[in-house]
Amino acid sequence: MAEKVKKPNIYDVATLAGVSHQTVSRVINNAGYIKDETRTKVQSAMDSLGYVPNAAARALVTSKTKIVGILVSDIVYNGPAGMMHAMEKEARRGGFFAISASVDPLDNDSISQGIEHLRRLGIEGLVVITPQSDSVQAVERLVTDIPVVFIDSPNNSKELSAELDNFSGAQRATEHLISLGHKQIVHVAGPTGWFDSAPRVAGYEAAMESAQLQPKVIPGDWTVPTGYEIGRNLDIEADKVTAIFAANDHLALGLMRALRQRGYSIPERVSIIGFDDVPEAAYYEPPLTTMRPDFAELGRVAMEMMLGHINREATLRADTLVPELIIRESTASPANL
Amino acid sequence: MAEKVKKPNIYDVATLAGVSHQTVSRVINNAGYIKDETRTKVQSAMDSLGYVPNAAARALVTSKTKIVGILVSDIVYNGPAGMMHAMEKEARRGGFFAISASVDPLDNDSISQGIEHLRRLGIEGLVVITPQSDSVQAVERLVTDIPVVFIDSPNNSKELSAELDNFSGAQRATEHLISLGHKQIVHVAGPTGWFDSAPRVAGYEAAMESAQLQPKVIPGDWTVPTGYEIGRNLDIEADKVTAIFAANDHLALGLMRALRQRGYSIPERVSIIGFDDVPEAAYYEPPLTTMRPDFAELGRVAMEMMLGHINREATLRADTLVPELIIRESTASPANL
DNA sequence: TCTGATAATGTGAACGCTAACATAATGTCA
DNA sequence: TGACATTATGTTAGCGTTCACATTATCAGA
């Protein structure tokens, strides 16, 4: 930690290269006309001094900070880790910095504090990752002067958004079960108030109805224990249930565990399909058939959209990613058709 | 997105409040002497204008950006999600911003690009989360002018660090098996070159030796498939193995699956203990006994250390967190002692 | 009522950069 | 060879703060 050594500025570089500071600036931003020879001189002066442009000074004069904020729900769930990486990388690719603030999506104070914090840095745009409804309005109310991209929120708003096509995903999952010959298919849903829940229910119902089957939805949340609990109590026999579409893999895991304990073999007696394809899903007991969303791509697309809007070159206002069906061993045709 | 509306600056506030810009500055930073009355006037002027201090201008003059960088390995594993949240929150608590760059820890170019990127923003400190050895040297070589805190790296370096006490954790895990009466305990290790691997091996060996048992280490990595593979091939009978300490939960999951397929019941025939306590571990088949590290706390401590050093008030140079033993159903006394 | 400390406020410059506007060098064509 | 575009470079000001230093109010105590 060598202290005191003052960092070189643009004038130091200029002096060493024997040009004006403005020429150095031109080289940095490669703007205007510069002789190759001059460019080389400047470049090597920068190298030898270890010059790094001062972002603050630049931001001050251009009033562009090249920073986008990411407001992310601190509720830990599967997607965000890879999604954050992807967003950061995409931002960097576009010469931007990504800075995140974790907030409790259920607490409006927490949300506004997070936004306030990001705003202080002078973010040029905000990406919001919140799987929960109320927070969207809070954000929309608080942020009106910069573009906002919502990830995984309902696209009925006028805002920019990138989201999972939960409807199609759920439809596809259900159709998979139907195509195997199942008639009594139950959907264990996610919690109300979360964006991903409702369209998964709707997709399920749509698929059931177009196959002229009777839908049955059991409200749940996203957790293994809830899946387990529901698995303990689900009336398999009376309703002749042969398949379950769980709103996510964790529910599916809990369900499988409970059902197996009750003596129902999977997939022989009951087929189960999940949603998310968590990394462990392939090693559940049995390996779980599930829908795989490309979270990283979702993050990348959202950031791409963000930068496009900041740079005023965007056409895309919403994008939707359809999850992929991953067939493993937790689904099969029902035994006694 | 109301465009054009110029943001108010300190002079606008000053004019409205009828004071000089410097007085406003004093209120913002609450420095020096200010009459209560004046403070109130200024405060309400700020409120009514919606004034937000310009971080760039401030950074320019103070040469303090209040930003710390986080260089994080983009290899997705369990801890970081909660860890990042915790770090960001701790930074915010101290008035700092946390900005991350994801890099491939095996690629020095990627590392230096990430650092370069963060440096451009003018970070005042850098937290490095890399579970892999080579990258540490790269970072140490590239960053010499600001404090660096390493998370989960070997504390033999002179740098600041916060790390998991893998040795104690592994020792504790092994002792748990020994105390249950196991004699033939195998350790399936993590990959070489990762910090967490070696001390877990060492802790295991230490525990075995002090119980005068013969250690046996099988090299692995962190993945479920590898655990599965090892589980398929492990010679349980010849060696009379009754317990396995897996270097992480994913290995444990793969092992359990393979062993069960081979007809070995868990924990009746073979006990298994993992490491990490991933969220699903409680719902593995059977629920996994494992060591639980407090990743969030690890991140918090690292950031606390970072800010302490930036603010020159730090005494702590290294901290170590001991994981907690979580006993579930995958471990039991061996059947035929 | 004056003196001098302390409290409270004000003034100018500087941080490092880019924008906007000069100005100088070079090349092209009649 | 001069005129004029084009290429290449230089000069000045200003972005919004804080810092370092004035300067002015306030209030004891003699």
Helices and strands: H and E segment counts in chain A: 12, 12
Residue nearest to nucleotide D13 (CA to C1'): A61
Residue B24 has pLDDT above 60, yes or no: yes
Highest mean pLDDT among A149-158, A166-175, B35-44, B185-194: A166-175
Name the band, by pLDDT with cuts 50, 70 and 90, for residue B193: confident
Over residues B83-98, the pLDDT tens digits come to 889 999 999 999 999 9
* Cβ A33 to strand D below 7 Å: yes
> What was the pLDDT predicted at A200?
96
Q: Which residue from B55, B88, B280 is facing A101, i.e. has the nearest CB? A: B88
Over residues A210-258, the pLDDT tens digits come to 999 999 999 999 889 999 999 999 999 988 999 999 999 999 999 999 9
- Chain B CA closest to residue A68: B99
Higher per-residue pLDDT: B325 or A158: B325
Distance from CA of B211 to the nearest CA of A (A): 34
* Cβ B31 to strand C below 7 Å: no
Name the band, by pLDDT with cuts 50, 70 and 90, for residue A175: very high
Higher per-residue pLDDT: B336 or B149: B149
* Cβ A265 to strand D below 7 Å: no
Q: Which residues of A touch B100 (CB under 8 A)?
A: 84, 88, 98, 100
Asked whether the beta carbons of B270 and B264 are under 8 A apart, the reply is yes
Asked whether the beta carbons of A87 and A142 are under 8 A apart, the reply is no
Q: Is A79 helix (H, G, I), strand (E, B) or coil?
A: coil
Q: What is the mean pLDDT of chain B?
A: 91
Over residues B296-311, the pLDDT tens digits come to 999 999 999 999 999 9
- How far apart are alpha carbons A126 and A128 in whole angstroms? 6
Residue B3 has pLDDT above 50, yes or no: no
Distance from CA of A313 to the nearest CA of B (A): 16
Q: Which nucleotide is nearest to A35 (CA to C1')?
A: D8
> What was the pLDDT predicted at A279?
83
Q: Is B245 helix (H, G, I), strand (E, B) or coil?
A: strand
The CA–CA distances, whole Å, from A274 to A78, A243, A246, A293 equal 13, 11, 5, 12
Asked whether the beta carbons of A186 and A218 are under 8 A apart, the reply is yes
Name the band, by pLDDT with cuts 50, 70 and 90, for residue A280: confident
- How far apart are alpha carbons A10 and A20 in whole angstroms? 9
If residue A258 lies in a helix (H) or strand (E), which one and from where to where?
helix A249-261
Higher per-residue pLDDT: A103 or B195: A103
Residue A97 has pLDDT above 50, yes or no: yes
Q: Which residue from A2, A99, A257 is facing B285, i.e. has the nearest CB? A: A257
The CA–CA distances, whole Å, from A41 to A26, A29, A53, B123 equal 13, 15, 17, 28
> What was the pLDDT predicted at A214?
96
* Average pLDDT estimate for A293-322: 89
Q: Which of B130-134, B253-257, B271-275, B296-300 has the lowest mean pLDDT?
A: B130-134
Residue type, B58: R
Over residues A35-55, the pLDDT tens digits come to 999 999 999 999 999 999 999
Residue B1 has pLDDT above 50, yes or no: no
> What was the pLDDT predicted at B335?
83
The CA–CA distances, whole Å, from B293 to A296, B82, B170, B203, B275 equal 27, 12, 11, 15, 8
Say what percent of chain B tops pLDDT 70: 94
Q: Which of A121-135, A152-166, B267-281 has the lowest mean pLDDT?
A: A152-166
pTM score: 0.90
Asked whether the beta carbons of B161 and B155 are under 8 A apart, the reply is yes
CA-wise closest residue to A105 among A71, A80, A78, A82: A71
